[in-house]
Amino acid sequence: MRTNDKTTLLPGMAVFVRVVEAGSFSAAARQLGTTASAVSRQIARLEQELSLRLLERTTRQLRLNEAGSEFYAHCRAMLDAAEQALAIGERLMSRPHGLVRLSVPKAYGKFVISPLMPDFLRRYADVDVQLHISDQSPDLIEDGFDVLVKVTDQPPEGLAGKPLGPVRQLLCASPAYLQQHGTPQHPQELLRHSCMYLGENAGDNRWHFSNDEQQEVVMVRGRYISNHSEARLEAALGDIGITVLPQFTAAHALTEGRLREVLPQWRYTGSYQGAAWLLWRQNLHLPPKLRVLIDYLSETLAPR
């Protein structure tokens, strides 16, 4: 071989197969949309690089010699393998099919995403979903996920995304707690109550509120601190005190009357604000399996 880069010979190998199967340079040229002289030059270059004569040329026909027959068999197998490889892309891009790996925060995954999965799986029988529920936001590429949900007020650069809707925080308590301790009418009245907060950062017990006219900051305290909304939900249902919960975490208990919203005329403006964003790697050609999941979640959850 006269070159260390064997891949430069691949186009010539494909032309060689076309010449053999077409029976002549001119017939192969017509199929390839080029000239017979251009085809002849490619075959000559291939023979020169291989230091082999592949075709016996006569005025009437081309004939494979022994080396050419063996070389043709390998070139034909190469093209067959290439066609099979291209068929993978055609198959995967023609219909929703295969596994989608989705990562979501714990509470949002349990209360919002997980209940939607049975209907999605019924709609798309050839799409499988691996749902990873964790509050540790993964790296899409390094951790091998196709799509993730992140609650943020500023989606990261370099990713494509759709907002699934705002994440609103509510103050909640059980009816029994409020009956025993009273219902606060102003944020400052929370100073007299047992309040459950995250405890992840030093300022987590500083609750911020606003209405149309003013803002208030209250340094709350309480006997129970947890950095997970589901744990605080269970404690609130156990009559332990007042807590802040994402609306989607509290929704079912509020509907059933097991929780009541506290200070509904005030808007909590503290941590865990923004919107739930569906994020994926920027790609002009999304696989159908990913596209149908993105469309399903965005259409189901996006604000009306």
Ordered mean pLDDT values, 10 residues apiece, the chain (304 residues): 68 90 88 90 90 83 88 89 72 78 92 95 95 85 85 82 89 97 96 93 90 91 92 96 94 96 92 84 82 93 71
Single-letter amino acid code for the residue at 115: P
Single-letter amino acid code for the residue at 21: E
What is the predicted pLDDT for the residue at 263?
Answer: 96
Q: What's the pTM? A: 0.65
Q: Where in the chain is the domain with CATH 1.10.10.10?
A: 7-93
Is 3.40.190.290 the CATH classification of the domain at 169-268? yes
What is the predicted pLDDT for the residue at 282?
Answer: 81
What is the predicted pLDDT for the residue at 89?
Answer: 65
Enumerate residues 6+ apart whose C-beta is below 8 A from 291. 96
What is the predicted pLDDT for the residue at 175?
Answer: 98
Enumerate residues 6+ apart whose C-beta is below 8 A from 146. 100, 101, 102, 140, 280, 290
Q: Which CATH class is domain 102-166+274-301?
A: alpha beta
- 7-93: CATH topology is Arc Repressor Mutant, subunit A (1.10.10)
Q: Where in the chain is the domain with CATH 3.40.190.10?
A: 102-166+274-301
Q: Where in the chain is the domain with CATH 3.40.190.290?
A: 169-268
* Cα–Cα dist 173/239, whole Å: 7
